[in-house]
Structure formats: C-alpha cells, structure tokens
C-alpha cells in the first residue's frame, strides 16, 4: 500500500477534534433560554406520558385478570359437569360378572371341550380293539 493516502488519513483523523463548529458569541442567551423552556416542557410531557402509561398498564392488567377469572370460572363449571357425568355413567353401568382373564379362560375351556367332543364323534360309534394294550 502507498504511504501517501495512509498518512493523509492519519492527519485527517488527528484534526477532527479541532474542526468542531463554534456557536456565535451573541446568540448564546436566547438559545439557552429557549432550550431551558423546551427541556421543562419535555420533562412535563414525559411525566404525563409516564402517568398515562401506568394507567394503561393497570387497565390492561385488570382486563386480563377479569378475562382469566371468567375463563377459570367457566372451566371449573365444565369440570364439575364432566365429573357428574362420569359418576352417572359409572353408576348406571352394570357391574361385570367376570373379568377379562376369566372370560378368556372360559373360551379356552369351551374350545377344548368342543375339540374333545369332535374327536369322540369322529372316531365312530363302535368300539375298536385297542392296539396299544397288546
């Protein structure tokens, strides 16, 4: 890189604090009076805005709590209604005589009995001589 533009850039950076604009000597008092009145006006507007913001935040919080309260009440009523419906359906349902495990045991026994009867009827009605005794 060439040294010329780099040194020029360094000189410009060193001179920038001295290049600030100065105010004219005769106009310092009217500017400071108007700036002071603007500052007080802005401070008053800031206080008013803060007060309005606090009021709006409080109203929003109240509205949210009222809405949540209404929703909570509705959900509690629905919960009670559903609990009553469950109790009614359990009371009206007939109690089971046998459990599922007992039901499967009975089905298995019935199948075994049916298979034994089919075997007896399939062998015929006459008695054959038993060969395994010989």
Q: Does residue 124 surpass a pLDDT of 70? A: no
Q: Does residue 86 surpass a pLDDT of 70? A: yes
Q: Give dist(CA 113, CA 116) in Å, integer.
A: 5
Q: Give dist(CA 98, CA 104) in Å, integer.
A: 10
Q: Does residue 71 surpass a pLDDT of 80? A: yes
Structure tokens at 120: 């007896």
Contacts with 98 (C-beta within 8 Å, 6 or more apart), sequence order: 106
The predicted pLDDT at position 19 comes to 63
Q: Give dist(CA 7, CA 45) in Å, integer.
A: 50
Give the Cβ contact number of residue 80 at 10 Å: 10
| Residue 49, domain member (yes or no) | yes
| Torsion sign, CA atoms 53, 59, 62, 63 | negative
pTM above 0.85, yes or no: no
Q: Tokens 């209404």 map to which residue? A: 70
Contact predicate 129/121, CB 8 Å: no
Q: Give dist(CA 4, CA 9) in Å, integer.
A: 9
| Residue 1, domain member (yes or no) | no
Q: How confident is the model at residue 41 (pLDDT cuts 50, 70, 90)?
A: very high
| Residue 115, domain member (yes or no) | no
Write out the residue range of the structural domain in which residue 43 sits.
35-92
Contact predicate 23/31, CB 8 Å: yes
Q: Does residue 57 surpass a pLDDT of 80? A: yes
| Residue 117, domain member (yes or no) | no
Total domain count, the chain: 1
Average pLDDT over residues 3-32: 63
């Amino acid at each position: 890189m060439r040294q010329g533009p780099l040194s020029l850039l360094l000189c410009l950076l060193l001179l920038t604090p001295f290049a600030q604009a100065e105010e004219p000597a005769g106009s310092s008092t009217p500017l400071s009076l108007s700036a002071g009145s603007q500052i007080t006006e802005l401070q008053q507007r800031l206080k008013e805005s803060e007060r309005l913001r606090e009021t709006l935040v409080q109203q929003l919080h109240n509205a949210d709590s009222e809405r949540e309260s209404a929703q909570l009440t509705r959900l509690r009523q629905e919960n009670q209604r559903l609990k009553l419906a469950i109790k009614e359906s359990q009371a009206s349902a007939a109690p089971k005589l046998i459990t599922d495990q007992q039901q499967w045991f009975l089905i298995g026994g019935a199948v075994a009995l049916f298979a034994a009867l089919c075997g007896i009827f399939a062998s015929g009605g006459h008695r054959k001589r038993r060969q395994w005794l010989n």
